[in-house]
Structure 1
Amino acid sequence: MKTFAAAGAASIIALAAASFGLPAGAQEAPPAVAAPAAAPAPRPNALSESVAAVVNDDIISSYDLMQRMRLLMISSGLQPTEENLPQLEQEALRSLIDEHVQLQELKRVEKAQKITIISTDKEVDEQIDDIAKGNNASMTGAQLLAQLASQGVGAETFRTQIRIDSSWQNWISGRYGSRLRVGEDQIKAFQRRMAESASKPQYQVSEVFLDASRVGGMETAVNGATQLVTQMQQGAPFPAVARQFSSAPTAANGGDVGWISPGEMPAEVDAALEQLRPGQLSRPIPVKDGVYIIYLRDKRAGAKAALVDLKQVAYPLAADATPAQIDVASKALLALKPQITSCATLEATAGKVDGLVAGDLGEAEITDLAPAFQEAAAALQVGQVSDPIRTDAGLHLIAVCGKRQSGAAAPTHDQIENRLRGQQLALISKRYLRDLRNSATIETR
């Protein structure tokens, strides 16, 4: 159950304006957040702190909120303005509430199941080292924490965020990852959609998605997206903004969606992509349940040629073979077909039957194949084997060992499986957290 006390956002925002050097009513552009302060911001006396929110009896103080707002701006590259401070305050508070709910659940599970889930200090240190090296190969975790401290963010603020986020992801993956089953039918359906869309224009995009239900409604999502677009146009890095504000599963990768074709995203996004040029940022794009911001990194024309990698088993027959001879050959190939379990074993399997010839036909454009093979090669999926095909040289089984479109490297079987598994885990995590929030008692002040 959620309850909301009288809002005290105005006092928090006024405090933030003073903390970030923004006089009330200031109209001029503020200094960049990246410029380090002269000294770390000291923690105020605990007695002077106010309560920003209460989550199941756990307190989020005004100091916690101010620290998260600072970290949010530094990590996203946003500059504080009088207009975006309310959005930053709301996002920081939402993140802190989510983390308190997650940490409470992790502690409950640890106690109930007598297991260790929450990351240790050593594990957090290792993750901070990895983050530092990702930003600068020569930077250490200690140097990163010192850099944050010089800009007013305490080490514990950053460490707590890393600890909860990593612990939650590990818990979701450990609890549900082994239960998830990405079936071959799902992978083949994905491959089929890619093959069908390969002739269409393709877009390399990054995304930010603001979930309307999370931010307080569609109007709030549109206003927030508008401010983020303005900030990115002024220099805030898209990947950093995506990591901090996006609700999409791609947020962890800086919003990188990769190459997509029309039909893979909502129709409103497809329409916007048609109007963008590489290097352009979209305006906010409202959809059914939120708002997208799209950055078009590159664009390419659809592939014109479908390439197929084939192997065959042939039963030699003269062009004028009798129906009886054709029937014998057909029965031999139909009996062999179920035994061909993969392209790798095709030749060895066929070699056990006298009179059959097996071989690798290599990769070719489907349109360049013999007419008798074209229809089968186009219809079959990777790993499938045709029924007997008659040509002037005999009867043939063809096995499709690979398919791709010219000019584009299709994702591998494992890459598709990992992508689908990641999408399912992200959805589970989102629903799990939503249920925890709905059952929690949350007061904001």
Structure 2
Amino acid sequence: MKFSKRFSIAALLATATALTPSIAQTVSDETSPEARLDIPDGQTLYGKNDPNVRRATAQVNGEIITGTDIDHRLALIVAANNNQLPPEEVARFRAQILTNLIDETLQIQEAAANEIEVTDAEVNQYFDRVAQQNFNRPASEVEKYLVSIGSSVATLKRQIKGELSWSRLLSRNVRPSANVSDDEVNAIIERIKATKGTTEYRIGEIYLSATPETMPAVTENARKIMDQLRQGGNFVAYARQFSEASTASVGGDLGWLSLAQLPPSLATAAANMRANEIQAVPSPGGISILLLIDRRQVATSDPRDSVLSLKQIAITFPAGTTEAQVAPLVKRFSEETSKINGCGAADEMARQLNADVVNRDGIKIRDLPAPLQQVMLDLQVGQSTPPYGSLEDGVRVFVMCGRDAPQEAASESFDEIMSRLEEERVNKRARIYLRDLRRDAVIEYN
């Protein structure tokens, strides 16, 4: 049986802030006279049309899910994918959204049956906090943005209510029995000590279950997802909607793992993958689409965790400037900035070049774009990077003003390991709980 997770509210809001809604264009009646309706004047409209009322798409124990509900959720996903979902992906997402809405309804209903209440005031408070944290603006402005992309504040508040209801239900009915013994934690600590210095991999996974009969269809589905991801699709968004693993709720992030902790097929693939590479790999019970997010040495400090103090010197180009026009400017910019010897000289050099200067402190090397990471690792304090940028965004160099070496990497504490194991057990039992709710529900589709 398929198991799916919903988008987390914070991640949806965070992704949506930077997006601009697309504007639909229509053809006027004057250019298409054949589209006119030959209706006499003076007619009467009987009754009212409410655009918010739609025919039910499904009923879950008598509670209606409408096409509008699906449209509003879909608008968030389209925005999260830069408004570039092809038609066939839209159709697949609509089907998955309906599944998610059914699960969400069952979760809210089960919480209510257990006398767990989530008040409107609590939902509004959570929404206000998330809006401020992710948009840095009042919730009222976030509401306007959601409307502009074809969604609504109601759909996010409904999602908030579902997540709070399910979380409280699991805390009462599942978490107390998800006990982890001290011996289990100590065994993991000993294993970490024994593997110090070996490589760990941070992996994202979209897991699709399959039987021998469904394997061809699941393989084709995996291929389509891979195509969209390679064209710039949002891995986190696809994992939340399509992955059947418990990690779907965190965008498919498996965290840091050694190869020994992975099934053999996944371990072989991960060992040979490059950072940000995506592969589809056979896995127990189905197919896993893997993303190699990063790799590191176990319990060993990583130079990429060094914290930098930088000075950014940037020049921009007027709209319409061609590459041929930019080339001599970039050449001079590169030659002059390469002469910088220490951050104290950066401001004067910027003035001569009519460039902007911005201080950038507390920057980790691993958080920089990949082409800059190796440059920064080799750079000495007082030196500058080669120019980096584009015609549209301008060109910049970074002068290294200081570097704080990373502290010796600390392993997870006893309490952190215990908390992680408990969470894994809660997630596993939550899947079983939701499966039973689906099995007992009366669901009617239209």
Instruction: Return the TM-score normalized by structure 1.
Output: 0.60
Q: Give, as a single letter, the amino acid of the residue that structure 2 aligns with 1:170.
A: R
Matched-pair contact (CA < 8 Å) for 1:187–1:417? yes
* Secondary structure class of the residue paired with 2:270: helix
Q: Give, as a single letter, the amino acid of the residue that structure 1 aligns with 2:252.
A: G
Q: Distance in 2 between matches of 1:304 and 1:72?
A: 38
Aligned twin of 2:124: 125
Tell whether 2:92 aligns with 1:87.
yes
Q: Distance in 2 between matches of 1:173 and 1:210?
A: 28
Q: Distance in 1 between matches of 2:82 and 2:428?
A: 28
Q: 1:160 aligns with which of 158, 166, 170?
A: 158
Change (3 A) 1:59 1:231: same
Q: Distance in 1 between matches of 2:252 and 2:294?
A: 15
Aligned twin of 1:288: 284
Q: Give, as a single letter, the amino acid of the residue that structure 2 aligns with 1:91.
A: Q
Deviation at 1:68, TM superposition (A): 2.3
Q: How does 1:5-404 map to 2 (within 5 A)?
A: 34-37=19-22, 45=50, 49-75=54-80, 79-110=84-115, 117-136=116-135, 138-198=136-196, 200-212=198-210, 217-280=214-277, 282-300=278-296
Q: Distance in 2 between matches of 1:167 and 1:301?
A: 39
Q: Distance in 2 between matches of 1:130 and 1:224?
A: 37
Matched-pair contact (CA < 8 Å) for 1:204–1:260? yes
Q: Distance in 2 between matches of 1:154 and 1:87?
A: 21
Matched-pair contact (CA < 8 Å) for 2:276–2:292? yes
* Secondary structure class of the residue paired with 2:261: coil
* Secondary structure class of the residue paired with 1:284: strand
Identical aligned residues as a percent: 31
* Secondary structure class of the residue paired with 1:277: coil
Q: Which runs of 5+ in 2 are unaligned?
A: 1-17, 25-48, 302-406
Change (3 A) 1:139 1:195: same
Q: Give, as a single letter, the amino acid of the residue that structure 2 aligns with 1:104.
A: Q
* Secondary structure class of the residue paired with 2:92: helix
Matched-pair contact (CA < 8 Å) for 2:198–2:297? yes
Matched-pair contact (CA < 8 Å) for 1:76–1:243? no
Aligned twin of 2:434: 433
Q: Give, as a single letter, the amino acid of the residue that structure 1 aligns with 2:127.
A: I
Aligned positions, number? 300
Cα-Cα RMSD: 3.2
Q: Which runs of 5+ in 1 are unaligned?
A: 1-32, 111-116, 306-405
Q: Distance in 1 between matches of 2:118 and 2:80?
A: 22
Q: Distance in 1 between matches of 2:117 and 2:210?
A: 30
* Secondary structure class of the residue paired with 2:177: coil
Bigger CA radius of gyration: 1
Matched-pair contact (CA < 8 Å) for 2:280–2:289? yes
Deviation at 1:140, TM superposition (A): 3.2
Change (3 A) 1:200 1:283: same
Matched-pair contact (CA < 8 Å) for 1:278–1:298? yes
* Secondary structure class of the residue paired with 2:255: strand
Q: Distance in 1 between matches of 2:77 and 2:117?
A: 23
Q: Give, as a single letter, the amino acid of the residue that structure 1 aligns with 2:131.
A: A
Deviations 1:323-373 (A, max 9, x none): xxxxxxxxxxxxxxxxxxxxxxxxxxxxxxxxxxxxxxxxxxxxxxxxxxx
Change (3 A) 1:127 1:208: farther
Matched-pair contact (CA < 8 Å) for 1:78–1:231? no
Instruction: Return the TM-score normalized by structure 2.
Output: 0.60
